[in-house]
Amino acid sequence: MAAVPDPPWWRRREESPRAERKPLTRDAIVEAALALLERDGLQGLSMRRLAQELGTGAASLYWHVGDKEELLSLMLDRIVGEAEVIEPDPENWQEQVKEMLRATRRLMRKRRDAAQISLGRIPAGPNSLPVMERTLAVLAAAGLPARVISYAADMFALYVGGFAYEESMPPRGDPAALGAYFASLPRDRFPTLASLASELTAGDADERFEFAIELLVRGLEAMAERYADE
């Protein structure tokens, strides 16, 4: 099987400088960065601290990794590469899509601050590309138009990443108190908000996630008809 090429914007793999005492590789740097992320979170991850963990200097890291942004991309590639993949089943594609979204949520919850790293970044590397290929294959096997497949893949990543990021944050406020506040608002000015107070704060994270992915998947069929002739 042919090796997956690195994106051209990643720093080329090169041998460490001869003066370096410890052999250092890009893979070793990413492994150490993931361990540091798990221990100290994204706020505690810096090139200087990572160099200390590896017993080397920051300059040695930059020899293998261009900057922190590239390091985060490498970490995201490794994390996404851990995703569960499935064989396309055209007769059962809706449930397959929902299960892929559930699996992505589980992965984002498994790795500390992984959701935060995923926001605004597109995973593109030798670990994540096979996962992306299989994900798109599930949608393609369903016979969806190319535009729908492309936009849906982006939409799913944004939704699950954002949902998982919100889940990773410490709870803020009491939903019951918020509902009570909504219900207490003047009905002449906020009739809809007040009447929906209990529903707006009802349901746990799992229930809301399942509702959303059901809504998104059902919407694919409607959008497929719109773009069928393109």
Q: Considering only CA atoms, which of 87, 153, 168 is closest in space to residue 122?
A: 153
70-95: pLDDT as tens digits: 999 999 999 999 998 889 999 999 99
**Dihedral sign, CA of 89, 91, 94, 98?**
negative
**Tokens linked to 223:** 């959008």
Query: What is the CATH T-level fold of the domain 90-226, as seen in this structure?
Result: Tetracycline Repressor; domain 2 (1.10.357)
In the predicted structure, residue 202 carries a pLDDT above the cut 50: yes
Burial 206-223 (b: 16+ CB within 10 A, else e): eeebeeebeebbeebeee
142 burial class (0-12, 13-18, 19+ CB within 10 angstroms)?
buried
In the predicted structure, residue 66 carries a pLDDT above the cut 70: yes
Q: What is the pLDDT of residue 18?
A: 45
| Domain layout of the chain by residue ranges | 90-226
Query: Residue 177 — pLDDT band, cuts 50, 70, 90?
Result: very high
127-169: pLDDT as tens digits: 999 999 999 999 999 999 999 999 999 999 999 999 999 999 8
Quote the pTM value: 0.85
CA distance 156 to 167: 16
Report residue 204: phi and psi, to 5°.
-90, 180
Q: Length of the chain, please?
A: 230
